[in-house]
Amino acid sequence: MIVGGVEDLKNAVLSKNLCVACGACANLCPYIDMVEGKAIVFESCGLRNGKCFAFCPRTYLDVASLDYAIFNTHRTDHVLGVSKMIITGRAKNPEIRAVSQYGGVVSALLSYALEIGEIDSAVLVKSENGIDPQPVIVRKRAEVMACARSKYLVCPTVSMLVEAIKHEKGNIGFVGTPCQVEAVRKMQSSELKLEASRIKFIVGLFCTWALHPLASESIKEKVKGRKILKLDVPPPPANIFIIQTQDGKLEVPLEDLRKFIMPSCNACFDMTNEFADLSVGTVEGDEGWNMIIIRTNVGERIFQKAMEGNVLEIRPPKEDNLKHLYEAVLTRKRRVISEASSGNIAYLLLNDEYKLKILREAP
Ligand SMILES: Cc1cc2nc3c(=O)[nH]c(=O)nc-3n(C[C@H](O)[C@H](O)[C@H](O)COP(=O)(O)OP(=O)(O)OC[C@H]3O[C@@H](n4cnc5c(N)ncnc54)[C@H](O)[C@@H]3O)c2cc1C
C-alpha cells in the first residue's frame, strides 16, 4: 500500500502544479484550504499516513486496483474502461432539456434518483452568474435543475462531499469530473476511516480540461456585464469557446482561454470518467443528446428505473460517434502514457501490458 503525509502531498502534487482543486484534502484537515484553484498547506501536521495524500487523485492512481475494487473485474476495453452498455439518450421532459447542457441526462437521473429514494441528497455545482462555480448540497428536483449546465471552471466539489458525509443523513449522490470521481473512489477504497460508503450514486462527466478560477475575470471582460446563460466548448476542430448571453452568442477563440487550462489536466488520462457508476458526455453533431456509458450495477439499476419511470429516451449510438470518442480517448491516453514512461508523470500506476496495449493500438 502506498502511504504518505502532507509533506509527500506537497512534493508529489502541489510543488509540481498537479493539484486538480477537487478539495479532497481540504475540509478533512484544519491546515489545508483551497485558495484560487489550488490546495494550500498552512502547517504540517507531521502524520505519515494522511487522508490528504490517500484521497488526492494525483498522488497515485492504481488503475487496476481501482477497477477491481469498483467493478470486481479487470478491464477488457483499455480505452473506455469497464462498461455494461454504451448508449445515447436524453431527458424525456423538454423542460429539463431546456435548462440543461445537452440532453439533460445528468439532471434527469439525479432528480429521479432523489425522487425514488435511491439517494437522499447530492453534491452538485451551482453558479449564480453562469461562471463562478460553487459546490452545493441538493435534496429536491428544483435544486438539481438550478445546478444544470456545465461550468467550465474548476470547483472543489469533493470538499462539499466531505461536508455532506459529515452532516447529511442517508445516501448521497455525486456528480463530478474524472479527477473528482477518482478522489471519491480513493476515499471509498481507503482504509482511513470516512463514511464514504454512503456515497451511493456517482455520475461522471466526460472531461478534456477545466479552467483555473482566474479565467472568470477574462470571461467577465468579454461579456461586458451581460448575463451569462450558458457556456459551451464544441468539439474540435471548432477551437472556440461559446458564451451564450441574454443578448446572443459570443464566440471566443479557445486560444484566448488556453492559458487558464489547469496544468493538472495535461496529466489526465481519463476523459470518459472511467470510475463512475455511469458517465455522461456530449454526442458530436447531436447537441440535444448525451453519450452514456453505464459502468456498474448501481449505474445500471438506476438507469433501468429511469427508463421504466419514463424519464429518459434512448437510441443506439452511431458508429461514427463511437469511433470519434474512442480515437479521442486513445490519443489522449497515448500522450499521457508516453509522458509517464519518460518520467514526466509519476502518479499513474499502470502495468506494462496495459501501457503496451495503448501504445500499440491503431487509432
Ligand atoms: C469542466 C468540464 C469539461 C467537460 N468537458 C467535456 C468534454 O470534453 N467532452 C464531453 O463530451 N463532455 C464534457 N463535459 C460534460 C458536458 O459538458 C456535460 O456536462 C455532460 O454531457 C452532461 O450533459 P447534461 O445535459 O446531461 O448535463 P446537465 O443535465 O446540464 O447537468 C450538468 C451537471 O454537471 C454538474 N457540473 C457543472 N459544472 C461542473 C463542474 N465544474 N464540476 C463538477 N460538476 C459540474 C452540475 O452540477 C450538473 O449536475 C465537461 C463538463 C465539465 C464541467
**Which residue owns the Cα nearest ligand 1 atom 7?**
207
**Residue 76 burial (CB count, 10 A):** 8
CA 248 vs CA 9, 76, 102, 129, 226: distances in Å: 44, 45, 18, 16, 9
Q: Which of 80, 150, 181, 219 to probe ligand 1 with, by most ligand atoms within 8 A of CB?
A: 150
Q: Is the dihedral of CA 92, 153, 60, 195 positive or negative?
A: negative
Residuewise pLDDT in 10s, the chain (363 residues): 789 999 999 999 999 999 999 999 998 889 999 998 899 999 989 899 999 999 999 999 999 999 999 999 999 999 999 999 999 999 999 999 999 999 999 999 999 999 999 999 999 999 999 999 999 999 999 999 999 999 999 999 999 999 999 999 999 999 999 999 999 999 999 888 778 889 999 999 999 999 999 999 999 999 999 999 999 999 888 899 999 999 999 999 999 999 999 999 999 999 999 999 999 999 998 989 999 999 999 999 999 999 999 999 999 999 999 999 999 999 999 999 999 888 888 999 999 999 999 998 766
Averaged pLDDT score across all residues of the chain = 95
User: pLDDT of 229-266, one tens digit each?
Assistant: 999 999 888 899 999 999 999 999 999 999 999 999 99
| Those residues with Cβ within 8 angstroms of residue 149's Cβ, 6 or more apart along the chain or in another chain | 99, 100, 101, 230, 231
Specify the pLDDT at position 362.
Answer: 67
CA 47 to ligand 1 centroid distance, Å: 36
Specify the pLDDT at position 305.
Answer: 98
CA atoms within 13 A on the CB side of 343: 0
**Which residue owns the Cα nearest ligand 1 atom 5?**
207
Q: 173 in ligand 1 pocket by Cβ < 6 Å? A: no
Secondary structure (DSSP) of 162-227: HHHHHH--S-EEEEE-HHHHHHHHHHHH-SS---GGGEEEEEEE--S--B-TTHHHHHHHHHTTPP
**Which residue owns the Cα nearest ligand 1 atom 18?**
281
Q: 283 in ligand 1 pocket by Cβ < 6 Å? A: no
CA 149 to ligand 1 centroid distance, Å: 6
| 9-14 LR contacts (CB < 8 Å, sep 24+) | 9/39, 9/41, 9/50, 9/52, 9/53, 9/56, 9/59, 10/41, 12/53, 12/58, 12/59, 12/346, 12/347, 13/39, 13/56, 13/58, 13/59, 13/347, 14/38, 14/39, 14/41
CA 90 to ligand 1 centroid distance, Å: 14
Secondary structure (DSSP) of 250-302: EEEEHHHHHTTB-GGGGG---SS-TTSSEEEEE-TT-TT-EEEEE-SHHHHHH
**Residue 307 burial (CB count, 10 A):** 14
Specify the pLDDT at position 32.
Answer: 95
CA 150 to ligand 1 centroid distance, Å: 4
Phi first, then psi: give them for residue 72, nearest 5 degrees. Answer: 60, 25
Specify the pLDDT at position 342.
Answer: 84
Specify the pLDDT at position 257.
Answer: 96
Rounded to 5°, angle at Cα 151 from 150 and 157: 100
Residue with cell 440543461: 100
Beta bridge partners of 292: 87, 280
Of 177, 173, 132, 175, the closest CA to residue 37 belongs to 132
User: pLDDT of 26-67, one tens digit each?
Assistant: 988 899 999 988 999 999 898 999 999 999 999 999 999 999
Residue with cell 451511493: 200
Of 106, 143, 118, the closest CA to residue 199 belongs to 118
Q: 177 in ligand 1 pocket by Cβ < 6 Å? A: yes
Q: 125 in ligand 1 pocket by Cβ < 6 Å? A: yes
Q: 212 in ligand 1 pocket by Cβ < 6 Å? A: no
Q: 206 in ligand 1 pocket by Cβ < 6 Å? A: yes
Q: 112 in ligand 1 pocket by Cβ < 6 Å? A: no
Of 255, 288, 259, 292, the closest CA to residue 277 belongs to 292
CA 39 to ligand 1 centroid distance, Å: 23
Specify the pLDDT at position 363.
Answer: 62
Q: 102 in ligand 1 pocket by Cβ < 6 Å? A: yes
Q: 211 in ligand 1 pocket by Cβ < 6 Å? A: no
Q: Which domains does the chain have, with CATH numbers?
A: 215-257 (3.10.450)
Q: 152 in ligand 1 pocket by Cβ < 6 Å? A: yes
